[in-house]
Amino acid sequence: MFETIIDRDRLKEHLYAARWVVVDCRFDLTNELAGRVAYRGSHIWGAVYADLEHDLSGPPLMDHGRHPLPSPQALETLFGRLGIEDSTQVVAYDDAGGSIAARLWWLLRYMGHDKVAVLDGGWQQWIALDFPVTAGEQSNTAAGFHGAPQRHLLHTIDELAGASLLLDSRDPARYRGDHEPIDRVAGHIPGAINRWWKDNLDAEGLFLSADELHLQFTTLFKETPPRRVSVYCGSGVTACHNLLAIKHAGLEMGRLYAGSWSEWCLDPSRPVARHSE
């Protein structure tokens, strides 16, 4: 069972195995159609597609960020449509360092499905060795997915006071408030520390070793238990990459603040910090 990341060679060994589902999560925030177009043009053999905007996000219910969490019922429907059932090993991939695939990884774990991993190095690593690909739309036989929300993995905006530490996953310039290309206000939640999700990767776009990640996160968190950490980003997507890296490091995973900065800054009465604290 793979629960965090999987390398391309191990995926190739299981590519034709029963009860394995591969999900292409490629998405471009600047062009909503680009991911599906890329998928139709070429994707890992047998992979089905999940769209960040339409599948991995939903109407605002528990949060009001740019990518609200889908309802549990919507997630059950989605995972069933993708062919995922209790015994299924899921592998998610993208072409953005795992930053989008990690959202699917977290959503499945949130619904109680732990047999899910992100492809290390993603699409780029797969095609570098001419591993099996195909084109067009593919689908799996619908399955009966039955899950339940694991609320201990989620923080809503009203629950943030229960976090011992806030971890901002955006790039340092956005965290400091030097500029804000997407949301209406620049800065970060007061008291939050910064860990850019890209720092989980090496120069080739592969995850750092579990030992190295363990050292980095325990140093960053100091005396705070990882389970007491609440992680956010701009809209609750790349924050999942940090949660994945924390889990891969062998640490107890903290919580996702799904509304993230895009929800926090909607209310002008909420405090905003700028520059590093």
Confirm whether 233 is a catalytic residue: yes
pLDDT at 277: 45
With beta carbons less than 8 A apart as the criterion, state whether 244 and 59 touch: no
Q: Which domains does the chain have, with CATH numbers?
A: 5-149 (3.40.250.10), 152-264 (3.40.250.10)
pLDDT per residue rounded down to tens, the chain (277 residues):
999 999 999 999 999 999 999 999 999 989 999 999 999 999 999 999 999 999 999 999 999 999 999 999 999 999 999 999 999 999 999 999 999 999 999 999 999 999 999 999 999 999 999 999 999 999 999 999 999 999 999 999 999 988 999 999 999 999 999 999 999 999 999 999 999 999 999 999 999 999 999 999 999 999 999 999 999 999 999 999 999 999 999 999 999 999 999 999 999 999 999 985 4
CA-closest candidate to residue 143, choices 100, 89, 206, 207: 89
Instruction: Give the span between the Cα atoms of 253 and 109, in whole angstroms.
Output: 11
248: how many CB neighbours lie within 10 A of its CB?
23
Catalytic residue among 25, 233, 240, 265: 233
CA distance 75 to 20: 18
Q: Tell me what pLDDT residue 276 has.
A: 52
| The pLDDT value given to residue 12 | 98
CA atoms within 13 A on the CB side of 229: 28
What are 48's strand-pairing partners?
A: 23
